[in-house]
């Protein structure tokens, strides 16, 4: 929490100068501005539109200031500088909570990405509304006091819920529709159904009507929400008691959907949620896009436009006006998108669908096509999706893998038939950092030499893989491989290049969570690119996974792939990289094949700059974290036992197994005497504990049992006085306690030690406990 709900901000109007009309010297708060920038813009790309507006009620002649700053690591600093300038000129500081592509853009249609949902509460019982929303939607990431007060004196609030990832494309429209629906249910500001609605920046100064307050963050909780889950929560949220919604009432302040336009009558005089002009323009635009994309002839498009005019406009437009508006929009569409696509011509020239009988398929004994990456991980014309959470090492792993494939060298059991031609189309890493990463990956010199001319990578791309993007990518690939086409085309990641196509009645034009949009991207963009350069090339798509619990990832890792479920039904093989234990660098690589037999998951790690495969038989399958804690506890007990035996001997005490267990029961965290006996038995089998049967030289009786007194390596008895025969000097000597017997690790039988001065461990023992007493003392001669 940034501040408690009842704590007054040091720059608030506690002096009595706020509501009274004087202007106290309040300064903007950079820390709150930075927290706002992180919540609303941290993952977005593009430019943030900022607005400096003269406050209502102030005698100010200042002109509004509009500026745009990049949504990068310096965004908080840039916003802070803007707020400082606005404060000095007595302007209010606003931001559109989304990003646009270029300067000068600030319309709703210009907003490309948004990563937070906001509701503006400026009327009614604000605290009751907030409690209602917290109960049904969950804890907001930010609770902001906007500076205003209601008639009853309550602080007006902005509530922000941060998303797990930025919304883009059609998801921006969904997010804005969601903001409007929330406002509708609780009596909030419905203007936020529009993407370009600006909002006050926390940390700036509120001066409306002479009041002087800081727009302050009352509370901050670092929580995030998935957009799809949040949509479901809003749908289930009941209206605030006292707010009655008309049957079927919806929010249309933002751009209406095509389905709503085509099915909702519109009357003249602005009686409805949009005007006849807005409705006609949207409907005409929709049918013109279908004509342009070749899904309708011009005659069919004009007939559909006339049908909408008759059915939905009350009264209908005259045909002359309808025709002139259609011609105007068609000319504008051609100017922006180029000539229309030709209509497909049915007839004998159309390709014939092939079908094969069972006998023909069984009798075909030709050799199977060689795998691009064996065994059946990537086949000719196949598509592989590699998923993983951000920062799991997905791109680093992918680069290492692709370079090995380009060199024709196996990698973690994935084998190419020969050196492959690889084109890496990536949109995350800039040029300088790409070359740095390639140098940091410990690639063998032979692999680098073999792949120097067969692996090509782009620096970070700032484009979509739309129609023009496919053409640009095709040209780049052909220029990289002029003599022979590529074997592998890799796109990393899907999200940064995703194009869901133009909006249409069947649902196209959505984001990556939309099945129709995902199918459009895979078929009309990815496969179109492959078909343009090499129909037999394999495609690798890098993709993010959504936030999911460890058990969910374990049960069905491929359900964690972000976006639409259509992706999983389309690819031929899938890989998901994840960390079962966040405190460990070890990753699991889950593998799913459609064209081959199942492959067990691989356990991999990056050691000294190289990816290596670990032995999965050493990996615990059940309750790994709990088991690791038990392992650590067992090692601790071993260390305590060995150290205690060592120190007790130095104090003149020797123990048999039974006496030691009874003496040190429940001491040093060793547990019961039975637990201590069991641990000593394990240490004896591993060679860390041996036995001395005749300890009469130390003043202890001889033991006739099968074991004896317990010994550890380097153990010495309490120093005893002795006289130097040459000098007559009295000196203290700590005699070594050397074993006479040891426990055979195979049979458990007690055997005699051949050479007591040489401490021998069984060959199967890999390492001694971390704090073995021999590291603390000198080994006996």
In the chain, what's the furthest Cα-to-Cα distance?
130
Contact 715, 705 (CB under 8 A): no
The answer, yes or no, to whether residue 2 has pLDDT greater than 70, is no
| Helices vs. strands in the chain: H and E counts, helices first | 22, 27
How many residues make up the chain in this entry?
781
pTM of this structure: 0.44
The answer, yes or no, to whether residue 500 has pLDDT greater than 50, is yes
Average pLDDT over residues 508-524: 80
Q: How far, in Å, CA of 96 to CA of 91, rounded?
A: 16
The answer, yes or no, to whether residue 83 has pLDDT greater than 90, is yes
Q: How far, in Å, CA of 590 to CA of 578, rounded?
A: 8
Q: How far, in Å, CA of 169 to CA of 498, rounded?
A: 9
pLDDT bucket at 134, cuts 50 / 70 / 90: very high
pLDDT at residue number 638: 87
pLDDT at residue number 17: 31
pLDDT bucket at 769, cuts 50 / 70 / 90: very low
Q: How far, in Å, CA of 274 to CA of 257, rounded?
A: 12
| Residue pLDDT, tens place only, 430-468 | 999 999 989 888 899 999 999 999 999 999 988 889 888
Contact 147, 208 (CB under 8 A): yes
Least confidently predicted of 41-50, 94-103, 386-395, 487-496: 386-395
| Residue pLDDT, tens place only, 398-411 | 999 999 999 999 99
Contact 535, 526 (CB under 8 A): no
Distances (CA, A) of 359 to 356, 365, 369: 8, 12, 20
H-type alpha helices, 534-623 = 550-555, 566-570
The answer, yes or no, to whether residue 37 has pLDDT greater than 70, is yes
As a whole-number percent, the residues of the chain with pLDDT over 70 amount to 84
pLDDT bucket at 491, cuts 50 / 70 / 90: very high
The one-character DSSP state at 43 is T
Q: Which residue has the higher pLDDT, 220 or 56?
A: 220
Q: Of the spans 113-117, 496-500, 606-610, 673-677, which averages the highest pLDDT? A: 113-117
Q: How far, in Å, CA of 62 to CA of 598, rounded?
A: 70
Among candidate residues 332, 357, 183, the one with its CA nearest the CA of residue 254: 183
Distances (CA, A) of 614 to 296, 586, 588, 603: 57, 9, 10, 5
Least confidently predicted of 125-139, 186-200, 492-506: 492-506
Q: Which residue has the higher pLDDT, 63 or 640?
A: 640
pLDDT at residue number 198: 93
The answer, yes or no, to whether residue 138 has pLDDT greater than 80, is yes
Distances (CA, A) of 676 to 125, 440, 479, 493, 666: 66, 48, 72, 55, 9
| Residue pLDDT, tens place only, 273-327 | 556 676 777 788 888 888 887 777 888 888 888 888 887 887 888 888 888 888 8
Angle of CA points 467, 472, 475, to nearest 5°: 125
The answer, yes or no, to whether residue 781 has pLDDT greater than 80, is no
The tokens for 467 are 């129609």
pLDDT at residue number 61: 64
pLDDT at residue number 352: 66
Q: Of the spans 26-30, 299-303, 563-567, which averages the highest pLDDT? A: 26-30
pLDDT bucket at 60, cuts 50 / 70 / 90: low
Average pLDDT over residues 761-774: 48
As a whole-number percent, the residues of the chain with pLDDT over 90 amount to 39
The answer, yes or no, to whether residue 616 has pLDDT greater than 80, is no
The SS3 of residue 544 is strand
Element (H, E) at 625: helix 624-650
pLDDT at residue number 53: 86
| Residue pLDDT, tens place only, 645-694 | 999 999 999 999 989 999 999 888 888 988 899 999 999 999 999 999 98
The one-character DSSP state at 327 is H
pLDDT at residue number 341: 64
Contact 424, 455 (CB under 8 A): yes
pLDDT at residue number 558: 83
The answer, yes or no, to whether residue 618 has pLDDT greater than 70, is no
pLDDT at residue number 81: 94
Among candidate residues 116, 505, 103, the one with its CA nearest the CA of residue 288: 505
pLDDT bucket at 251, cuts 50 / 70 / 90: very low
Element (H, E) at 574: strand 573-578
The answer, yes or no, to whether residue 80 has pLDDT greater than 50, is yes
Contact 738, 757 (CB under 8 A): yes
């Amino acid at each position: 929490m940034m501040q408690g709900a009842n704590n007054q901000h040091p720059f608030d109007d506690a002096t009595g100068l706020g509501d009274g009309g004087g202007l106290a010297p309040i300064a903007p708060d950079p820390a709150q501005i930075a927290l706002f920038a992180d919540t609303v813009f941290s993952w977005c790309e593009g430019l943030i539109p900022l607005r400096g507006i003269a406050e209502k009620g102030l005698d100010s002649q200042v002109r509004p200031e509009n500026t745009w700053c990049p949504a990068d690591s310096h965004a908080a600093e840039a916003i802070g500088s803007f707020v400082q300038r606005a404060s000095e000129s007595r302007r209010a500081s606003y931001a559109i909570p989304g990003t646009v592509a270029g300067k000068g853009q600030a319309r709703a249609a210009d907003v490309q990405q948004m990563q937070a949902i906001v509701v503006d509460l400026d009327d009614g019982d604000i605290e009751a509304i907030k409690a209602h929303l917290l109960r049904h939607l969950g804890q907001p990431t930010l609770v902001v006091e906007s500076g205003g007060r209601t008639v009853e004196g309550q602080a007006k609030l902005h509530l922000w819920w941060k998303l797990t990832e930025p919304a883009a494309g059609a998801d921006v429209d969904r997010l804005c529709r969601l903001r409007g629906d929330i406002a509708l249910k609780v009596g909030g500001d419905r203007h936020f159904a529009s993407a370009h609605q600006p909002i006050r920046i926390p940390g700036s100064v509120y001066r409306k009507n002479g009041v002087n307050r800081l727009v302050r963050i009352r509370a901050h909780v670092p929580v995030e929400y998935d957009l799809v889950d949040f949509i479901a929560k809003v749908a289930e949220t009941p209206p605030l008691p006292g707010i009655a919604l008309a049957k079927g009432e919806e929010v249309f302040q933002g751009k209406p959907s095509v389905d709503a336009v085509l099915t909702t009558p519109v009357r003249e005089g602005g009686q409805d949620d949009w005007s006849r002009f807005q409705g006609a323009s949207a409907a005409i635009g929709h049918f013109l896009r279908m004509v342009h994309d070749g899904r309708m002839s011009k005659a069919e498009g004009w007939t559909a436009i006339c049908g909408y005019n008759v059915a939905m406009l009350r009264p209908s437009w005259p045909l002359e006006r309808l025709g002139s508006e259609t011609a105007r929009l068609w000319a504008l569409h051609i100017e922006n998108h180029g000539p229309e696509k030709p209509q497909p011509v049915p007839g004998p020239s159309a390709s014939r669908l092939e079908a094969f009988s069972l006998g023909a398929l069984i009798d075909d004994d030709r050799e199977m096509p060689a795998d691009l990456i064996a065994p059946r991980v990537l086949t000719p014309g196949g598509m592989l999706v590699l998923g993983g959470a951000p920062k799991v090492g997905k791109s680093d792993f992918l680069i290492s893998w692709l370079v090995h494939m380009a060199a024709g060298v196996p990698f973690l059991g994935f084998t190419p038939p020969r050196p492959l031609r690889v084109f890496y189309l990536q949109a995350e890493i800039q040029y300088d950092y790409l070359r740095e990463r390639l140098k940091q990956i410990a690639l063998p010199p032979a692999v680098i030499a073999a792949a120097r001319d067969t692996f090509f990578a782009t620096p970070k791309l700032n484009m979509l893989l739309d129609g023009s993007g496919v053409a640009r990518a095709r040209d780049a690939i052909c220029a990289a491989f002029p003599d022979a086409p590529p074997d592998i085309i890799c796109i990393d990641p899907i999200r940064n290049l995703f194009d869901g196509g133009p909006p249409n009645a069947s649902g196209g034009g959505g984001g990556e969570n939309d099945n129709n949009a995902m199918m459009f991207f895979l078929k009309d963009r990815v496969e179109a690119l492959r078909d343009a350069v090499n129909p037999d090339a394999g495609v690798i798509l890098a993709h993010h996974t959504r936030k999911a619990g460890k058990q969910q990832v374990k049960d069905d890792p491929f359900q964690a792939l972000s976006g639409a479920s259509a992706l999983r039904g389309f690819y031929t093989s899938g890989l998901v990289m994840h960390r079962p234990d966040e405190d460990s660098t070890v990753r699991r690589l889950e593998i799913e094949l459609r064209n081959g037999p199942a492959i067990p998951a691989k356990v991999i790690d990056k050691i000294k700059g190289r990816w290596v495969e670990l032995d999965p038989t050493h990996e615990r399958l059940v309750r790994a974290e709990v088991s690791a804690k038990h392992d650590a506890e067992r090692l601790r007990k071993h260390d305590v036992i060995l150290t205690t035996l060592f120190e007790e001997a130095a104090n003149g005490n020797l123990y048999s197994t039974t006496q030691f267990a009874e003496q040190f029961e429940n001491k040093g965290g060793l547990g019961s005497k039975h637990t201590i006996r069991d641990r000593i038995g394990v240490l004896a089998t591993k060679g860390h504990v041996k036995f001395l049967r005749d300890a009469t030289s130390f003043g202890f009786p001889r033991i006739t049992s099968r074991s004896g007194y317990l010994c550890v390596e380097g153990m010495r008895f309490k120093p005893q006085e002795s006289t130097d025969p040459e000098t007559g000097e009295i000196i203290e000597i700590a005699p070594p306690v050397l074993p006479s017997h040891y426990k055979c690790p195979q049979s458990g039988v007690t055997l005699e030690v051949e050479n007591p001065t040489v401490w021998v461990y069984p060959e199967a023992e890999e390492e001694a406990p971390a704090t073995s007493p021999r590291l603390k003392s000198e080994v006996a001669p």
